[in-house]
Chain A
């Protein structure tokens, strides 16, 4: 594994950490900043399909509402992360 790959991994781990922290503290700007301006968050069953930079913060609000209304859950992730290159 070359140095660039290691640096990329470190940055992506930081990105995930920033995202998780922003979610936990309901920091909408911090949350939105973890997306590209044309990024999207699609949460089909939790009532939101967010497209575009302005929409990603919304699931945070909805998830907060959902968390308040339902029992506490522990999420066990088998998270898949894919890295994509774009021409733009």
Chain B
């Protein structure tokens, strides 16, 4: 999935982000129905948006309690770390790896899914990874498109990318 942002007062036309959109349908007694829709962006458009919205997902009690138990810190400390962009694994007092964090969040997601429609571990891990790891800026994606020959309208590069170039 590509998201294109139309130009506005503060932004030019630009490829805003890329992401993943996947729907699964099953036949029910009432006809075909969605059993799962998964959508997430894997390239952030701004620090604020992804961080704040990520906080909303991780604040759900089942997920937050699981993280709290793993890291042995309160939920408030975890949410503060999400806001400041601190790696969650670094909050733990013991030797906790990033994959421990991903695994814990993935299992919490799985625990939420009903038995009749279990969430596959691969999907749960992918979601957990996106929610607990930093993402690159959409401008980097745009650069790749330009390198491949895309001739879209000129856009302004973000400060993070400008620092790198």
Contacts and interface: CB of A to CB of B under 8 A. Distances in A.
Interface in A41-88: 41-49, 51-52, 56, 70-86, 88
A75 B3 contact: yes
B117 A49 contact: no
A17 to B, nearest CB: 12
A84 B24 contact: yes
Interface stretch (B26-34, B64-72, B86-94, B154-162): B26-34
A35 B35 CA distance: 6
B8 A71 contact: yes
Range for the number of chain A residues in contact with chain B: 35 or more
A35 B23 contact: no
Interface stretch (B36-44, B75-83, B144-152): B36-44
Interface in A1-50: 8, 11-12, 15, 19, 34-36, 38-49
Contact of B38 (A42, A47, A71, A88): A42
Interface of A: 8, 11-12, 15, 19, 34-36, 38-49, 51-52, 56, 70-86, 88
**6 closest pairs, A vs B, by CB?**
A44-B40, A47-B56, A47-B53, A38-B117, A51-B112, A38-B114
Interface of B: 1-6, 8, 11, 16, 19, 21-28, 31-41, 49-50, 52-54, 56-57, 60, 63, 109, 112-114, 116-117, 119, 127, 130-131
